[in-house]
Structures are given as C-alpha cells and as structure tokens.
Amino acid sequence: MAGATIAVASDHAGFDLKEILKRDLQEAGLEVLDLGTHSTASVDYPDFGRAMAETIAAGKVEKGVIVCGTGIGISIAANRNPKVRAALVHDVTSARLTREHNDANVIAFGQRMIGTEVAREALKVFLKTPFEGGRHDNRVAKLAKG
C-alpha cells in the first residue's frame, strides 16, 4: 500500500485523532489528502463526511479515514453516497471484518469512544486486510444499489 493516497477528514471533535492517524499514514509511506478540518474550532460533521464521499466517488482515492466525536454522524454523512462503504469500528476485529466481508472503503472512528492506540492498530489492520469476495460479492453489490 506504500505510495497510495489515503484521504482523511474530521470535524472538530475528531481533529486530534485525525492528526495522529494522518501522521501514522505518512510515516508508513502513504500520501495523505487532508480534507479538513484543520483545527478544533467548531464545524459541522456532515460537511466533512460529504467531502470524503465526494472524494471517494470521484476516484481521487480508494480509501479514507473519518473521525468525529462518536464516529456515528460523520459515517452516516459519508454513507449517503452509494460509492462509499464507511464502517464505524471500535476494535481490530471490526476493522478486519469490515474489509473482509463488506469491502469497506472508509474507516470511521469516534475520538470520544476509542483509545488512540486501539484506533492506530485498527487502521493498520483495515489497510492491510483484503476483501474476501466470494459469498460477499453479491451482498456488497446490493449496497451500491441503495
């Protein structure tokens, strides 16, 4: 995955974790497209979920990372686009399974809900885990139909 570009986005409540994960991605040799926010000043999470969805749908990146306070709002916003399969994860197992079974292309975290080290490990697993395909292909195709 080295050399690939990963998009990151957050609202103010997810800014600190986004910055940590962004640094990890860069240190792993990945290019990072930061869609904002760029501070802890209050902003609206739907704007950043939508920015991620538009970036994925336009084919600018294949995968993304989104963060808000709980991870719920920003993932709902991103998932409104049928090209996005954003999964809110809370541990390494959910990060692995959402790639294997759902072919998720965006991982979502809640900064107030997950420990930093758990999020860092979950992101590593998310990025290295392939989609299994097979029995999951038809299910994932149905997701794109809305």
The residue count for the chain: 146
**What is the distance between the alpha carbons of residues 44 and 28, in angstroms, rounded to a whole number?**
30
Q: Is 136 a catalytic residue?
A: no
Residues pairing with 5 in the sheet: 31
Given the residues 38, 90, 101, 136, the one annotated as active site: 101
Q: What is the pLDDT of residue 3?
A: 65
DSSP 46: H
Give the mean pLDDT per block of 10 residues along the chain (146 residues).
86 98 97 98 98 98 98 98 97 98 98 98 98 92 83
Q: What is the pLDDT of residue 145?
A: 81
Q: What is the pLDDT of residue 144?
A: 84
Given the residues 12, 68, 90, 136, the one annotated as active site: 68
Strand order across the 31-34 sheet: 31-34, 5-10, 63-68, 106-110, 86-88
Read off the pTM.
0.96
**What is the distance between the alpha carbons of residues 140 and 14, in angstroms, rounded to a whole number?**
28
